[in-house]
Every structure is written in structure tokens, then in C-alpha cells.
Amino acid sequence: MQNTATPTHCPYCALQCGMNLTPAADGTVEVTERADFPVNRGALCGKGRTAPAVLSSRVRLTSPLVRSGDGTLVPATWDEALDRIARHLARTREEHGADALGVFGGGGLTNEKAYALGKFARVVLGTSQIDYNGRFCMSSAAAAGTKAFGLDRGLPFPLEDIPRTGCVILVGSNLAETMPPSLRFFSELKENGGTLIVVDPRRTKTAEQADLHLAPRPGTDLALALGLLHLVVAGGRVDESYVEERTAGWEEARAAAMAHWPEQVERITGVSVPELREAVRLFCEPEHAMVLTARGPEQQAKGTDTVGAWINLCLATGRAGRPLSGYGCLTGQGNGQGGREHGQKADQLPGYRKLTDPAARRHVAEVWGVDPDSLPGPGRSAYELLDALGTDIRSLLLMGSNPVVSAPRAAHVEQRLRSLDFLAVCDVVLSETAALADVVLPVTQWAEETGTTTSLEGRVLLRRRAITPPDGVRSDLEVLHELAARLGVEKGFPTEAEEVFEELRRASAGGLADYSGITYRRLAQENGVFWPCPAREEAGEAEHPGTARLFLDRFATEDGRARFVPVSHRPSAEEPDDEYPVLLTTGRVVAQYQSGAQTRRVDELNAAAPGPFVELHPRLAARLGAAEGDPVAVVSRRGRAVAPARITTGIRPDTVFMPFHWPGEGRANTLTNPALDPTSRMPEFKVCAVRVEAVTR
Ligand SMILES: Nc1nc2c(c(=O)[nH]1)N[C@H]1C(S)=C(S)[C@@H](COP(=O)(O)OP(=O)(O)OC[C@H]3O[C@@H](n4cnc5c(=O)[nH]c(N)nc54)[C@H](O)[C@@H]3O)O[C@H]1N2
Ligand SMILES: Nc1nc2c(c(=O)[nH]1)N[C@H]1C(S)=C(S)[C@@H](COP(=O)(O)OP(=O)(O)OC[C@H]3O[C@@H](n4cnc5c(=O)[nH]c(N)nc54)[C@H](O)[C@@H]3O)O[C@H]1N2
Ligand code: SF4
Ligand SMILES: [Mo]
């Protein structure tokens, strides 16, 4: 084989760093620098650099597995495994109805897979019960963005705008660990004289870069944003003409903010009034400024209102829909953006259309060649779906998620999964969730297949096949094709990604996320195309260039105005009390990815981040009598987890932090609270009440 480099993108996070892959003579594949991709300019974090290790057949699945009579998983042929899945799904549907079938997808799946999975659920299974792990990710920001701007795209501008703005408030993002190559944009911002404000209860690697670090008590970002808006109004810093021309709803939002006095906000958040004033000064003085949120403020049972309050701050100061200013959400998974646009979400049809909209149903049903009335309505959100397993939902097909580790109240979710009549999982490795399945199908992954993803910038990218997959694996698209055929739908599930994308283009045409002007040919030539990009098929018309910057002329609402939301602070679903006096928050470390299913199989990453830990302040550690590395138990109303203490002054004394990448005794999600945001249905991963105990061993 010729050793030519194939340009492609990283399998992990939403930055979708460009990289070149070159197959080596020994069958392995080498990652080399791809300097032409402007987002990372060749830089990669350790996860991206070591991603080929997960292609090795030593760590992955290369044969279908089926549950045998003695309860163990044993190898089977593809036909046996597929037949078994089709048989069980058909039986469940016959005995309990179509809504007893569940489908769970992932934001790591390509656009083509996410599209095909949504279509499979609605057209082949006829079930409304489909949702995906993106619900646990950026759904609160998506809901708030849709309310305010009429459209949700993670960043409404490219990352390259960041160095040229005047101030960025980064709320609950630890991008120095979660998207390391993106740190460059913030360093350049500072070199250009701009300032960075980081809002995080912990002094993270990202917070260390900040000109001002605000460390609120977890779950109080809503009050913090309201307090800042109060000071903006009190200081006469409202951009009155912008508010008049480009927004609606200011009076109610203003009144709500004025009810939040700075001293009261200081008491709720622990951020002092002088710090609040300094933040307002840094944010308001320059001509341009941005607010970017990530999971910190979003993964709360009031995440939608919280993001709404930060958007209000942008709107009141005229910092949205103008060059070098705006609100953005740092989407998380590789295809976290595209994965939420094309129909694997419970209430959604492709093109970011609503399943409840009759015109959207007609359009998509026509592309699919089905009767619009045959399409089911909206289903349950991710946690509610997992909670209904074994009761309302009897059989589940899961693709691209590992909820045994990543879902809130994970011991309960694990027990729900075990109580199913039938579970089928498609994965590249035997994840903790796949290990519970009745049938496991081994699938191809990034370097072995072609497909598109949409990065956090709304940039649609082409991932190219660089190597031949091992014998024994098939692609997710082939799986859906084969299952559809076995369930009586012979057509409409092509196995070639480009063919699926061609249909996705038509299905998305005219929708908010319009991909109809994007083709594989263009993606192969350009460094991605930003949506919306409508087709211009009229003779002689030039191709639509794509939309790097949104809202510059108008917002995507009916009247073109952005909407303020009148929001007020409220406590977290679970506040500390005598029995559970400490706050737990959760998140990530640089060397592990998500549930760890992939990265825990890479030696170099395990050496850097070998296992779970509990980050706590020296004062709390002293009270427990715990020294660095001693096991400590963290107990919540959901359960108990044990992990070594990591003592640092970089965390508030009232708060402990655990990363969520590991199963077993140190699983953070044993503890987390599945209280849901009323709009986005996001679980409260970032705040729950716990007790911390010393463990004697
Ligand atoms: N290394 C690595 N990188 C990743 C991932 C990974 O698993 N590992 N996952 C990818 C995905 S899917 C996502 S969604 C992104 C997530 O990227 P981030 O949002 O950056 O990651 P988190 O660590 O979950 O949370 C960010 C910060 O929120 C803080 N925080 C906790 N509670 C609160 C609060 O109440 N308010 C505020 N303001 N902050 C709070 C935490 O201390 C943490 O430092 O990362 C992506 N990149
Ligand atoms: N406590 C706590 N919990 C959290 C969070 C938190 O901050 N705190 N964050 C939440 C967030 S933001 C997210 S995004 C979720 C993520 O959590 P999960 O949904 O569990 O995400 P992954 O670990 O990425 O799981 C993806 C699975 O799909 C497999 N896979 C990879 N590529 C493919 C493919 O192409 N096809 C198929 N079929 N499978 C594939 C991987 O091997 C892996 O098993 O976790 C959430 N859980
Ligand atoms: S930052 Fe994200 S996309 Fe870039 S190499 Fe690391 S994991 Fe991959
Ligand atoms: Mo995420």
C-alpha cells in the first residue's frame, strides 16, 4: 500500500482538529500534522494524537457477540446476530406496541449515522422513543439559544474572531483541558490587549489564564449573571439604541435583574461585589465582547434560564449579532452540533425541524416516501427514556453512548438496562453498557469510514476513510440497512455515507440547519462549510458560500429581533443540609474522554490519568483527617463512591469535584442527581448535595 497521508479529523471532541493519517507497513496508522486546517493548525491534544491506539484489534470488538444460554457473551456470525435483533424488536412491537421500542444515539455519530438512526426509529420501528446523549451535553444552551435568537448553533461566529474581540467571559468551561488547542485563541486575545474572565468554582488550568477569575458556588450562575446585569443597568451601561432596534422583552428582563441586588448576589454566589463590578467594567469598556458558556452553567436543572440570563447580559449591552461580539456555546462531542440537527433527538426532524410542525412533517415524510401521519410524535428525553427501560420500554437499540458510566444516577440506570427484555448495542469496544447487552455488534470507526461532522463552529467537515477496517466489523449504516431489510423496509437505508448525505441535504432543505448547498465535493476542496448553506441550483447562480457569522443583519426569529427572557434565580434541586452538607460538582480531565470507553484503552492516557479522584480543599480534608491520596467516600442520596483524595486550594471549601470517566467504585455518576431542567430536560450533573467521609482500610 502506498504511504499517502489522508487528511481527516479527530474522533473525539467538537473542536474536530484536523489531522493526517498515514498507514504504516506494520498495519498501524500514524497521525501526522495537518497544518492547513485553520482551527488547530496542526496542534493536537494527547487524546487526538493517540487515537489510532483504539483502532487496534487488541482493544476492540471484531466479532458480533450474543448472550448464550449460560448468560455469557459468545461470538456469533453477523447473520445470527442481526436476525436475533430483528426478531426481538419485532416481537416486542407485536406484544407491547411500537413505543415499547427504544433507540438511544450519540453526539459522536456522524451526521449520516444520526440522520439514519432517527429515520430508522420513525420509519422502520415506528417508535417515538428515541433520544441521545447530547441531551446530557449542550441541550440547555440549545434551548436558550432557540428562545433568544430563533436558532441554535453552538458558536454563531468562527473561533478566529475571539482574538479580535475586547473581552471574553468564559462561563463553566475548562477548555485548557477539554479543548487544549483552542487555548491559542484566548492567548492571542490577551496578546492583543483583550481580557479573559473565567467563571468556575475551581481554579482550573483555564482559570489560571484569566485576568479575572470568579469562583461562584456551584449552581449559582443564574444569580451571578443577574447581578452583573443589575450593575450594567445601575451603571448606565445599557446600549439603549441596540435594545430598541434589535430586541424585544427588555422591560420584564430589566425588572427581574433589578430585583437581584449585588449584595444579595454576593451572598448567593460567594463572588464579592467589587469582583462583580470589575467584571462589568472589563466586559463593558471595550467596543466588542463575548460570553461563551460550556457545561458548568448548562448542566443544571435551571440550565436554560441560566444561559438565558447570560444572553440577556449580551443583549442589554449590544453584544450579539454584531461583528466580534456575541453569545456562543462550546459544544462538546465530535458531532455534538450536527448530532442535534438531523433527527435523533426526541422532538426533532432533520434540518433542525420540529416533529410537531405539520409543514416539517410533510416535507420530511415526502423525502422519506411515507405518509406524514405515519410519523410518530415527540418521545421522552434521554434520562426519562433510560428511566422507563424495563417498564414502558421493553427493548432498546443503543448506538454511540455508554450510559452505565455517563448517565446521572447511574446505578439506577444500570439496573433499568438490566431489566430490559432485550438490549442491542453497536460499539467499537466492549463498553460497560455493551457488556450488559443481549447482542453486541462491532462497528467501524472514524479512520475506517467516511462521513461528515459539524464542529462547534457550525462548520461541516468531511472525515475520510484512511485505512481498511479489520475483518469482522461493519459500519453503523450497514447495521441499519440490514435491520431495516429484516424488518420489511428494503429501501431508504443506503450503506454509502455520501448517498445518505445526499438524502440529508434534501431533508434539511428549507430547515433552520439547511445543508442543501453542501456536497462531499465541496467538503473535499474547502476546509469545511458553515451552515446554513442553501442550495442554489438555478442556472448560472454561484454556490452559497455558507454562513460563518450569523445574525449580523437580523436574528432568526419571525420579526428578526432577539428575545430577552425574564428570569429569576432559584436554588438548585438539592441544596446542602445537615446530612449532606457539601456540594459535589463533576467534569473532566485532559487525558480521558467521556465514559472512557475509548481512552481507558490507551496506555499513554491511562498513565497520565489512571483513575478517579475527589478534589477537595485542605480545610475539608483536615476536618476528615484525610491526607493526599487517602481514599475518601462521597455519599449522596443516590449512593456512595470511593476515590483517592486530591487536596488543592484551587477549589472552594464547600465543594468537592470528581471527574466522571470511570466505572466501578469511583463512578461519579453513582452520586449525581437526575433532577431535570423543565425545558431542556438536562440533568443536574453539576450540583448535588453530598457528605464526604474518611475511609479506613
Ligand atoms: N479531555 C476531555 N475533553 C473533552 C471531553 C472529555 O470527556 N475529556 N468531552 C467533550 C465534551 S462532550 C464536552 S461536553 C466538553 C465539556 O467541556 P467543559 O464544559 O469545559 O468540561 P467540564 O469539565 O464538564 O466542565 C467545565 C467546568 O465547569 C466547572 N463547573 C462545575 N460546576 C459549575 C457551576 O455551577 N458553574 C460554573 N460556572 N462552572 C462549574 C467545572 O469546575 C469545570 O472546570 O468537553 C469535550 N472535550
Ligand atoms: N457526572 C457527569 N456526567 C456526565 C457529564 C458530566 O459533565 N458530569 N457530561 C455529560 C456529557 S456532556 C456527555 S456528552 C455524556 C457522554 O457520555 P457517553 O454518551 O457515554 O459518551 P462516550 O463515552 O463518548 O460514549 C460513546 C460510546 O460510543 C462508542 N463509539 C464511538 N464511535 C462510535 C461509532 O461511530 N459508532 C458506534 N456505534 N459507537 C461508537 C464509544 O466506544 C463509546 O462506548 O456524558 C454526560 N455525563
Ligand atoms: S482537542 Fe478535541 S478534536 Fe482536538 S485533538 Fe484533542 S480531542 Fe481531538
Ligand atoms: Mo458533552
pLDDT tens for 315-366 read 999 999 999 999 999 999 999 999 999 999 999 999 999 999 999 999 999 9
Q: Are residues 306 and 354 in the same domain?
A: no
Q: Whose CA is nearest to atom 6 of ligand 3?
A: 45
- The tens digit of pLDDT for each residue in 279-297 reads 999 999 999 999 999 999 9
Task: Give distance in angstroms: CA of 653 to centre of ligand 4.
Answer: 27
pLDDT band at 152 (very low <50, low <70, confident <90, very high): very high
Choosing from 483, 498, 513, the residue where a domain stops is: 513
Q: Using a 6 Å cutoff on CB, does residue 439 contact ligand 3?
A: no
Q: Using a 6 Å cutoff on CB, does residue 137 contact ligand 1?
A: yes
CA separation for the pair 538, 299 (Å, rounded) = 45
Cell of 284: 463593558
**Arithmetic mean of pLDDT, 611-627:** 97
Q: Are residues 144 and 104 in the same domain?
A: no
- Residue 41 lies inside a defined structural domain of this protein: yes
Going by the DSSP 8-state scheme, the letter that residue 162 receives in this structure is G
Task: Give distance in angstroms: CA of 331 to centre of ligand 4.
Answer: 7
Angle at CA 226, nearest 5°, toward 224 and 231?
95
The pLDDT assigned to 25 comes to 82
Q: Are residues 228 and 277 in the same domain?
A: yes
**Top-confidence residue, 540 or 584:** 584
- The tens digit of pLDDT for each residue in 668-682 reads 999 999 999 999 999
Give the mean pLDDT of the chain. 97
The pLDDT assigned to 1 comes to 46
Q: Are residues 100 and 230 in the same domain?
A: no
The pLDDT assigned to 696 comes to 82
- The tens digit of pLDDT for each residue in 116-127 reads 999 999 999 999
Which residues constitute the domain of residue 291?
Answer: 139-329
Cα separations in angstroms, 286 against 116, 194, 212, 318, 437 = 46, 8, 16, 12, 55
Q: Using a 6 Å cutoff on CB, does residue 92 contact ligand 2?
A: no
Among 140, 402, 440, residue to substitute to test ligand 2 (most atoms within 8 Å of Cβ): 402
**Arithmetic mean of pLDDT, 440-455:** 98
- The tens digit of pLDDT for each residue in 559-611 reads 999 999 999 999 999 999 999 999 999 999 999 999 999 999 999 999 999 99
Q: Whose CA is nearest to atom 30 of ligand 1?
A: 296
pLDDT band at 3 (very low <50, low <70, confident <90, very high): low
Q: What is the CATH number of the domain that holds 631?
A: 2.40.40.20
Task: Give distance in angstroms: CA of 296 to centre of ligand 1.
Answer: 6
Which ligand is the nearest neighbour of the Cα of 298? 1
**Arithmetic mean of pLDDT, 202-224:** 98
Q: Are residues 106 and 205 in the same domain?
A: no
Which ligand is the nearest neighbour of the Cα of 592? 1
pLDDT band at 26 (very low <50, low <70, confident <90, very high): confident
Q: Using a 6 Å cutoff on CB, does residue 641 contact ligand 1?
A: no
Task: Give distance in angstroms: CA of 109 to centre of ligand 2.
Answer: 10
Task: Give distance in angstroms: CA of 332 to centre of ligand 1.
Answer: 9
| % of the chain at pLDDT higher than 90 | 97
Q: Are residues 495 and 374 in the same domain?
A: yes
Q: How many domains does the chain have?
A: 4
- Residue 547 lies inside a defined structural domain of this protein: no
For the CA of 12, the nearest atom of ligand 3: 7
Which ligand is the nearest neighbour of the Cα of 598? 2
Q: Which residue has the cell 453497536?
A: 426
Ramachandran angles phi, psi of 13, nearest 5°? -80, 175
Q: Are residues 125 and 146 in the same domain?
A: no
Q: Are residues 99 and 150 in the same domain?
A: no
Please determine, for residue 15, whether its predicted confidence score (pLDDT) is greater than 50.
yes
Q: Whose CA is nearest to atom 33 of ligand 1?
A: 296
Q: Could you tell me the pTM of the whole model?
A: 0.98
- The tens digit of pLDDT for each residue in 526-535 reads 999 999 999 9
Q: Are residues 251 and 220 in the same domain?
A: yes
Please determine, for residue 186, whether its predicted confidence score (pLDDT) is greater than 60.
yes
Which ligand is the nearest neighbour of the Cα of 426? 2
Burial 305-337 (b: 16+ CB within 10 A, else e): bbbbbbbbbbbbbbbbbbebbbbbbbbbbbbbb
CA separation for the pair 590, 11 (Å, rounded) = 15
Q: Using a 6 Å cutoff on CB, does residue 597 contact ligand 3?
A: no
pLDDT band at 159 (very low <50, low <70, confident <90, very high): very high
Q: What is the CATH number of the domain that holds 485?
A: 3.40.50.740
pLDDT band at 539 (very low <50, low <70, confident <90, very high): low
Which residues does residue 397 pair with via DSSP β-bridges, in sequence order? 103, 424
The pLDDT assigned to 479 comes to 98
**Top-confidence residue, 275 or 538:** 275
The pLDDT assigned to 227 comes to 98
Element (H, E) at 367: helix 358-368
CA separation for the pair 480, 500 (Å, rounded) = 12
Q: What is the CATH number of the domain that holds 48?
A: 2.20.25.90
Q: Whose CA is nearest to atom 2 of ligand 3?
A: 13
Q: Using a 6 Å cutoff on CB, does residue 352 contact ligand 3?
A: no
Q: Are residues 492 and 384 in the same domain?
A: yes
CA separation for the pair 175, 182 (Å, rounded) = 7
